[in-house]
Amino acid sequence: MLDPKLLRSSMDTIAARISKRGFVIDTARFNDLEERRKLLQVRMQELQNERNVRSKEVGHAKASGKNVDDVLKSLKDLSDELKSVEEQFASTQIELEDFLARIPNVPHESVPDGKSEEDNQVVRVWGEPKKFTFTPKDHAELGAGQGWIDFETAAKLAGARFVVLRGPLARLQRALIQFMLDLHTREHGYQEISIPYIVNADCLFGTGQLPKFREDLFSVSGDSERYLISTAEVPVTNTVREQILETVQLPVKYVCYSSCFRSEAGSYGKDIKGMLRQHQFEKVELVQIVKPSESYHALEELTRHAEAVLQRLELPYRVVALCTADIGFAAAKTYDLEVWLPGQQRYREISSCSNTEAFQARRMKARWRDEAGKIELVHTLNGSGLAVGRTLIAVVENYQDKLGRIHIPRALQPYMDGIEVIE
């Protein structure tokens, strides 16, 4: 959430910057809500002061033996009006907070301007796509023959956009998860954390999924409002909600493996073949909570940590800076990592690494105390390190041979008991 004080003082500037995202702030409505809030607040304070004066008058009148009926009636009328104004003020505050909660983050000045994903900018490229002597197959075709990738059984169990993995590919997925967790904890300094897969609405509001993206979530029936997590970013980042961290506690660096659940609302007909866009998928998530002055250094670091997974697996990829029209709701700046998929002959997203600055922290009331005792909001960052299913796809497609076998990357062989080839 944006700073309301900043909006009040610099609305035109902020609105112009956010318009580059394709989002138009209804400044007239904001000004109307603000004006109403101010008038109600002033009137509320006037009535409170007047009530205090009248209450003292009642006390003095009673002490001197005077009739207080008229004063009491006047006091009651004033209290009734005060209660009405307080209710109007509270209602206006709720309306204003809901308005603010739907405004996306302000893009960082280094984010390239653009109107669509076509305007994203390639920052760097690592590795070269392999030149096959045969026409490479996609992962669905490679895995279907042996029943290793089974969409039909998954559809019988849960419906479309689910998958059953069997045998060596189920094992390969487990190896990828373990490899990623070991790399990030042993070499990159992250602490592993295990979290609930069900969260309350406060968590989703804190990281920006609610109220705007409710339709993208799977809700859980019960006596309270709860949801399946769309990413481990939600519960992991919320571990610092409503806390004041001390300087010595920063930076906080967590790595978390989890299943993720997304309804994929609005994506019908998009990436329906294979495992690219599923309702349930596995991900290893990186989260950092840092001092504001260090957040853009942390973004570069976190992105390099995600890249290291692809480099160890020797998978060609590129880093793309998302333009203003393509960054996520809570992000101030985002790098996407896109891995080369021979089956599609194109690069596909495998990780998004974002700095949300204080946007999530303000919603979560996540703060830190500096050496001088001053309390301010932390900055939060997150990124996939990596999306496991898409990494599995990349390994299967990039390491196939003409016989349909899958060769195991050297970095994964210790996690596969030395197996070098899946026959």
For residue 250, count CB atoms less than 10 angstroms from its CB and return exposed for 0-12, middle for 13-18, buried for 19 or more: middle
Respond yes or no: is residue 262 known to be catalytic.
yes
Q: Which two tokens stand for residue 14?
A: 């902020």
Same domain for 67 and 175, yes or no, is no
CA of 419: how far to CAs of 249, 393, 407, 412, 416, in Å?
42, 18, 9, 9, 5
pLDDT digits (tens, 9 = 90+) for 161-216: 999 999 999 999 999 999 999 999 999 999 999 999 999 999 999 999 999 999 99
Residue 335 lies in a domain: yes
Q: What is the CATH number of the domain that holds 91?
A: 1.10.287.40
Catalytic residue (choose from 21, 54, 241, 262): 262
Catalytic residue (choose from 214, 277, 304, 367): 277
Residue 253 lies in a domain: yes
Give the separation between CA 82 and CA 47, rounded to whole angstroms: 6
- From 149, 131, 123, 177, select the one nearest 317 (Cα to Cα): 123
Count up the domains in the chain and report the number.
2
Three-class secondary structure of residue 104 per DSSP: coil
* Whole-structure pTM value: 0.92
Residue ranges for the known binding site for ATP are 262-264, 349-352
Give the separation between CA 142 and CA 339, rounded to whole angstroms: 18
Same domain for 41 and 175, yes or no, is no
Residue ranges for the known binding site for L-serine are 231-233, 262, 285, 382, 384
Would you place residue 74 in the very low, low, confident or very high pLDDT band (cuts 50, 70, 90)?
Answer: confident
Given a cut of 90, is residue 327 above it in pLDDT? yes
Give the separation between CA 12 and CA 34, rounded to whole angstroms: 15
Residue 16 lies in a domain: no
Domain limits for position 61:
26-102
CA of 18: how far to CAs of 26, 111, 335, in Å?
12, 12, 19
Q: Which two tokens stand for residue 48?
A: 């409170």
Give the separation between CA 161 and CA 276, rounded to whole angstroms: 9
Query: What's residue 410's pLDDT?
Result: 98
Residue 3 lies in a domain: no
CB 336 within 8 A of CB 319: yes
Residue ranges for the known binding site are 231-233, 262-264, 285, 349-352, 382, 384
145-180 per-residue burial string, b: 16 or more CB within 10 A, e: under 16: eeebbbbeebeeeeeebbbbbeebbebbbebbbebb
Same domain for 266 and 130, yes or no, is yes
Q: Of 45, 74, 102, which residue is a domain's last? A: 102
Respond yes or no: is residue 346 known to be catalytic.
no
The pLDDT of 219-243, averaged and rounded, is 96
Same domain for 222 and 321, yes or no, is yes
CA of 310: how far to CAs of 47, 254, 302, 340, 348, in Å?
65, 19, 14, 10, 13
Same domain for 318 and 396, yes or no, is yes
pLDDT digits (tens, 9 = 90+) for 365-382: 999 999 999 999 999 999
pLDDT digits (tens, 9 = 90+) for 97-146: 999 999 999 999 999 999 999 999 999 999 999 999 999 999 999 998 88
Q: Of 102, 127, 160, which residue is a domain's last? A: 102
Same domain for 95 and 123, yes or no, is no
Respond yes or no: is residue 258 known to be catalytic.
no
CB 242 within 8 A of CB 366: yes
